[in-house]
Structure 1
Amino acid sequence: MSSPNTESSTPNTQSSSPNTQSCASTPSPVSLADKRPIIISGPYADDTGRLVRRLKNAYPGIFSLPAMHTTRPQRPNETEGVSNFFVGMTQLAIMKSYGEFIHTDCSNGCWYGTSRTAVAKEMDKGLIPILDIGTSGIKRVQKTSKLHARYVRFRRSSFDGPSESYEDGDADDEESADEGEGDDASLVSTMVSSIASKLNDDQFISIVSDDIGDAYKQLEEFVFGSMYQGQ
């Protein structure tokens, strides 16, 4: 008498198999094989900012923007430690003297710095930190921070003159004078060549485009080229 029940349960077991197989064969949309931070720079902060936001929003739970330390006054709608840590100039200077920052920038009289601790915390969460820094900053970070990262340089093909609204707070006075005033196409080209010569193809890309959509596509292909496993 128990046989019909046993037999009737068989189709249920078999019918569940396709679902199990389907779940198992569905690839994860993104493989986190490459967790190196991504450092992006360009002559126009608005352009690089758009690329960073688009990448982060397109892949939630994959990328992050580490909270920065800043001497800028806290705004009413801001929460300490979410996007920024609000500090005085003395505290920021002390942290800088101890080498706690990967890089620092000055914009409109206010200082900003991304600390090694902030980047490490994001990586500990399994996230990929994205740093948006100045042109001379990318050279300085690559040269001195010993950060194992990937570097992206973006500019419009029409770019031919001074640009950035922030200063590289990590550069020496002489280096800053050389780079800050003459951030024109020829200097940028020389700087990019210098950086690229020291990095592998999967570590650096120079994107030149007047189309933000095209630039984003190149950025996406570069980022995910080494993150997908077997795809």
Structure 2
Amino acid sequence: MSGRLTVLAGPTAVGKGTVAAYVRAHHPEVWISVSATTRPARPGEVDGVHYHFVAPETFEAMAQRGDLLEWAVVHGRHRYGTPRGPVEEVLAQGRPALLEIDLQGARQVRASMPQARFVFLKPPSWQELVNRLVGRGTESEEERTRRLETAVAELAAEEEFDVTVVNTDVAEAAEELVGLMVDPSA
């Protein structure tokens, strides 16, 4: 495997985190970046494993120092970003690295690291995306509405990516993603 960076993005509730968790559990050779966020942890999320949960002031300081490879305000509320140092260290070691981020972040990474591979994770249908968002039960009705409005624009960005993976089945989508990371011609 090469040390090429792969960026996984797609609309809200498409299963980016679930696919990344499958890769983490089944492919220890793939390093997965842990993003920083100002949002509170959801039930079951662990600081330093799922995200680095930080205060807004801490996040702002990281952004000001240039410690973030990318960052964005997501769904008009919380900030998310990728700490730069760990990504650069892993790539220098020649390991495959995966960023699971939102569309805004993917665009920033493309501007600074165009040699990365950009993978769009797509739902099998709009209704399935709605079902997944409602089914996880972690957002209020107002938040779900905001996320679905954002998802329309996110889905329209598919053409900006190098390849699309449809997340019909988590294991299949994750294995397809890892296959793209392993294949130097992809």
TM-score scaled by structure 1?
0.56
Higher relative contact order (CA 8 A, sep 6+): 2
RMSD between aligned residues: 3.7
How many angstroms does 1:72 deviate by? 5.0
Answer yes or no: is 1:156 the counterpart of 2:123: yes
> Structure 1 residues 181 and 145, CA, compared in 2 at 3 Å: closer, same or farther?
farther
1:52 is matched with which residue?
20
What amino acid is aligned across from residue 41 of structure 1 in structure 2? A
Partner SS state of residue 7, structure 2: strand
1:35 is matched with which residue?
3
- How many aligned residue pairs are there? 168
Which has the larger Rg?
1
Question: What aligned pairs does 1:23-172 form with structure 2 within 5 A after superposition?
Answer: 32=1, 34-45=2-13, 47-60=15-28, 62-71=29-38, 84-106=51-73, 110-142=78-110, 144-146=111-113, 148-159=115-126
> Quick check: 1:139–1:191 contact (8 Å CA) kept in 2?
no
1:168 is matched with which residue?
none
Pairing partner for 1:205 from 163, 167, 170? 163
Percent identity between the two aligned chains:
22
User: Gaps spanning 5+ residues in structure 2: where?
Assistant: 134-147
**TM-superposition CA deviations, 1:80-113 (whole Å, max 9, x none):** x666555432232132134331222456954332
**TM-superposition CA deviations, 1:114-153 (whole Å, max 9, x none):** 12112113334443221111134323321x3335311111
> Quick check: 1:44–1:155 contact (8 Å CA) kept in 2?
no
> Structure 1 residues 71 and 213, CA, compared in 2 at 3 Å: closer, same or farther?
closer
> Quick check: 1:37–1:129 contact (8 Å CA) kept in 2?
yes
What amino acid is aligned across from residue 133 of structure 1 in structure 2? I
User: Gaps spanning 5+ residues in structure 1: where?
Assistant: 1-31, 166-179, 197-203
What amino acid is aligned across from residue 7 of structure 2 in structure 1? I
